[in-house]
Structure 1
């Protein structure tokens, strides 16, 4: 729960792409008097959202909001976690950029991007001022989408902020869950490190940023310790009291496209702006605290 001084004044949050991270943010804000609306592609998920107290709207790259004026009316905050589409830019802005720019009283608009925009630094540190060197198509699309969102601030005064996220983990999406399902892998690529963030810290950092908006800025939302995927899986195995899977050689063709993209770049991402400037105190400074807390919560 947020401390009172860190609690943004309640309003109406409209979320494009009501997924894992957005759901945690909604659960954090709703007890504080927030009204939350969000989009999904399917009527089935819309029903689940409504049951959870979130006003649902259907939206997708080929399905604009049926009535954008009604859906976005009264929104004080906008969040988009919708990834850009191949060859067509950001789908939210393509369909509703002009509608967002016309929202009266909008106090904050957040776009969830990725630290993949930094590309490969050979293991060197990056921060929000570092050049964007994305090489793969997914990273390049994100660079373009960030520029499109920030142009709303520069050109039309929409209070946009960009949040760059690394690998996201939490209950249901952690090394603990992967070990239990038999999908955990320990890839041997010496010197290669990942940045991570617990989903609860994404929600907390966003909520604090909503209370202290800084339009036109970028924020890395990452924890304190880049680590190899093999080390994380090994630690989760120790917590569970099981043998970790054996190390496997790094073979891009044996990995999913998403996993292979993680291993294509090697960098360490600083969170000084998050921790020192914004003043956010990480609930889970490293994967160790996050995984141990998940197991403890399971009883």
Structure 2
């Protein structure tokens, strides 16, 4: 799943870097979008290094540079259609006002208007700005449009005042993201073994018996179990698939190899799911 993280220009912008790492723990791809003001507090390079993706900072290409393709020419539409959720953290009073009033004057505000996925806003600002009727009216507008607001915490603020306005904790924001994306962690503490793909039984040095199993079902099961917090062991026959992130793959070829790999690890597993397409027959002895 892919999340767009909008970072606007407040002192809490540095906390968005921690949010990127936290979302990666849930195996989410994070595309960071920064406003110009956000870049005064933290550099795009920081987010690029953490996310492994180019950070979007401008609506248009640099002067004199033509777009590489149609997607880059209308990138806000391409991003809007490729994400599963948009979260803006921190969201300043200025950014909230632009969203509430439909002002699309940079990439982030335009992305908000262009996307149809769930949107989360995590405000962060001075307590007086937070309590101002204009800010509260703008937030109420967003709520009536279906935007999810993660309320700020109370405490000592960067401006020296005390009160509401501190960016909600990273865990609180991540929990809301996982809730909207349907991500659960109910497999934490479990060790899941999944078998996948075909097995091959040699007839002679050239020919062998097998089937056309792609392994996709087993790999999808392994990925789902890992997303839900399990330690996953994937015993896989020969397939043309990359193992899901964080999954331990044990590569085998024959039925006997798969059988042995499963038995060697079964005692340490709490769940075993057999999705492999094991060969129905094998020669008594392969011809030399």
- Using the size of structure 2 for normalisation, the TM-score is 0.42
Structure number, greater radius of gyration = 2
Higher-RCO chain (CA-CA 8 Å, sequence separation at least 6) = 1
Instruction: Please identify which structure carries the higher helix content.
Output: 1
